[in-house]
A and B are shown apart, each in its own frame.
Chain A
């Protein structure tokens, strides 16, 4: 079993990992010759299914295994993220699968070249520190210049404000588990019925700020701080505060909280509902004709005034806050609403090259049955 690659787009990979790390402690990673798949399936809460084309994050990619060149790993996300972060200023970074003391690791090797300003900074300190230190720094300074002549590759560096290039090599060993074929067979993309409404979300930072604010308010009123008794149901059922998120097929998105004491909503209008691609829908054009979203188009309006035409999901405010963390990737996000059932977000990371494969991060929030949902 061999896996080795140079990492490119370290920022994308780091942000991607950061987003995943908000949603779960470990991911199942499946590597094959074409793509890398990250799956997070917690016992409850948000599931993630993310597929990246190899060249989104890797180049010089080598993979070999007895199982048709497929490798399945269980990877802890916080250490992975932490390791990647140390590569943000790297000159080069590579990743490989290895064993140490019979334990498997993903090893990240990071080379960073830093231009040091030894002499410069010490001279400055010398000036700041007055007479004594100054004299001292001068002598240090001289010594340093000597050492350049001795070790330095560039003898032209013989003046104070010059430096020398330092090469630091960092290796980060991320503990992992290698998964057998049998243990990953059951993993499949989250399945759900055809959505009632699909809509392109507004900028996620905007959505995150508002939903965080709402969640805070719900928590406050739940504590009895302002409203008295609000959100008691949620507390009783052991769930966090519920946000209600709804969208229609006329470009409207509505985010609300409801407690005994208050009812607040934010409505976005003028968003776009992407057209379905007949090639992607079962039954082609006919499939589109009977698609739930086609029926939903007949209901509601573009101002969001009507009570009709909304597909509604209730989501856990804190969970949602974590999901919003994917915003750091800056991708296009399409939300698919299955009324009173599930909310699925598709995050599209567009590659730099035109026509390149799009990588898709799917985040789905299925709801546990709650009293609210049944009422």
Chain B
């Protein structure tokens, strides 16, 4: 009989929401309790604004686990208790599984750097929206982050090749920098963006440590009660001196992380997932990208509320105004007359929509007035 109950403050709920938002970019499920990540996300979705708002701010969020031998399905029960006396209860199904953890041997990872996530956030905004890979390397006291896509050599399509962007900064802009020169380490742009965005939300310093291409890289950051670690597979090559090859210590038991296995402290350990590979929706990455099977990106993730849903992040506020000049995108079937507006509004309030609910296997919401 498994028993788990915990209550989150509004602030923590927001944090969990942010973390889930980030994790949803990697996988459909969160492993610690093996629940549906997306469904969980939709519980918190929409509430985030409330938490910051006035009227319907939540007072607390109660979470408990129902797992009884006489019940067929396990349920994770999330109760959003609002200030206004409304309680929203979400029951998510989950599956009890053995949680997998990525192995990462910190001792082997001699290349290390640390920088304010805010700086990286600035960098990622320069990247083209469709690029797939990110090459990180240092040379002559400057560190370069280059986003690129494997070449399409077809002459006709050459113009459709996504913008290749290299952003370089001095190693002096890093809090710490100690990495081998000309060591090219390649990860996925999308993963990097997701992690940086989350780290920036926490206003954290982000650390990276890695040994060599094709071996895992770990990003870590934390603050305000959270500690996040992401272990990513890498590709790349050495264009400089050969890296000191550490023994293939796959079996190393020195997993650097304190375990979060089935602990009640889910609020503090959202990050460790099963080895999150740099997966691409287009799956155009070559095999040497070390894809892990079953790592396909959830197709619906783009529907989720997310800060970077805008493929063209803003550089200056001015652009907001400039956008008014863009041609209108007409949705033919969408009614546009005034009186249909009300319905539109309601739709956006009742996210997740009914169809989503089914898809996510959320139980019908019980709304109680106390």
Contacts and interface: CB of A to CB of B under 8 A. Distances in A.
Interface in B323-342: 324-328, 330, 332-333, 335-337
B175 interface: yes
Interface residues of B, number: 48
Interface stretch (A29-37, A172-180, A363-371): A172-180
Contacts of A215: 328, 330
Contacts of B333: 223
A303 to B, nearest CB: 31
A170 interface: yes
Interface size class of A (residues with CB under 8 A): 35 or more
B166 A103 contact: no
B150 interface: no
A179 B158 CA distance: 13
B122 A85 contact: no
Contact of A118 (B116, B169, B315): B116
A328 B129 CA distance: 23
Contacts of A327: 325
A328 B159 contact: no
B316 A172 contact: no
A140 B175 CA distance: 9
A318 B159 contact: no
A205 B324 contact: yes
A22 B336 contact: no
B126 interface: yes
Contacts of A129: 223-224
Interface stretch (A75-83, A255-263, A270-278, A305-313): A75-83
A169 B175 contact: no
A116 B337 CA distance: 48
Nearest to B316: A88
Nearest to A205: B324
Contacts of B126: 86, 170, 172
Interface string A294-325: 00000000000000000000000010011011
B325 A325 contact: yes
A216 B316 contact: no
A19 B326 CA distance: 8
Interface string B57-79: 00000000000000000000000
Interface in A153-183: 166-177
Contacts of B128: 79, 82
A219 interface: yes
Contacts of A83: 163, 165
Nearest to A152: B172
Contacts of B312: 82, 85
7 contacts: A82-B312, A88-B316, A116-B173, A177-B159, A219-B332, A223-B333, A327-B325
